[in-house]
Amino acid sequence: MAGDGVWVVTGASRGIGAAIARLAVDAGQRVAMIARGESVMELAQSLGESAAGFQCDVADSASVSETVDAIVARFGRVNVLVNNAGVHRGGKIHRLTDAAWQEVLQVNLTGAMNMTRAVVPHMSEGCSVINVGAVVGFRGFPGDSAYASSKAGLSGLTQALAIELAPKAITANLVIPGLVLTEMTSELSEAALDKMTQQIPLRRFAEDREIAEVVCWVAQSRYMTGAVVPVDGGLLSSFGVT
């Protein structure tokens, strides 16, 4: 990817978000890394002068506005926005609390809207918005009604943004990670991991860098907008493969 771009990555303190930030910095980009916790500051510092950490709650529009102003003051513009921040609160509908439902929607869906609305005025022709979805937004899993609804909504938001931003030559696309090796999955038993792996046609979890590589590729594509790009080992294509 061309150097000297300015990327804004939410949920950047770990996992996929951190991998995207690292890959972008390695490619010569400058990256504003956003997360709610303080750890994002330390991680950004470890990536060198091309990265800067910002504490921000994407669900809070005032916090988002203040943070984007600070990013533009430091870097001057934004070329790529990656809406990756997300929370997961499981539970079948008779157990899912109102608070859990609202939190998931506010962070995963409203957060992406808040960020996009704040960043787009600082974008120009050739810029890109990338939303990070989930397989569960397209396929049902029990106990995932809140997360699935938020990610399905993110797909709809992406479609609308693609049309709205096209006159400005700004693209909007949705990348869908499959099951990724994370701190959370590393705590599962070998039997549980094996059962989950059997659902994936490629028979393995993804590494966060593999998702980041596709996000970086999507950011460079100038004639792709409104697209859904699965990076899921075939999970969306085939369930229950044996």
CA 121 to chain centre: 20
Q: What is d(CA 75, CA 36) in angstroms, rounded to the nearest whole number?
A: 21
Interatomic CA distance for residues 82 and 99, integer angstroms: 26
For the chain, how big is the Rg over CA atoms in Å? 17
E-assigned strand segments in 61-191:
80-83, 128-132, 171-177
Q: Which residue has the tokens 């499959």?
A: 178
Which structure tokens are listed for 30?
Answer: 């400058």
* 147 part of the active site: yes
Q: In what order do the strands lie in the sheet with 171-177?
A: 51-55, 30-35, 6-10, 80-83, 128-132, 171-177, 228-231
The DSSP symbol for 171 reads E
Q: Which of 22, 51, 147, 230 is catalytic?
A: 147
Q: What is the DSSP letter of 178?
A: -
- Catalytic positions are 147
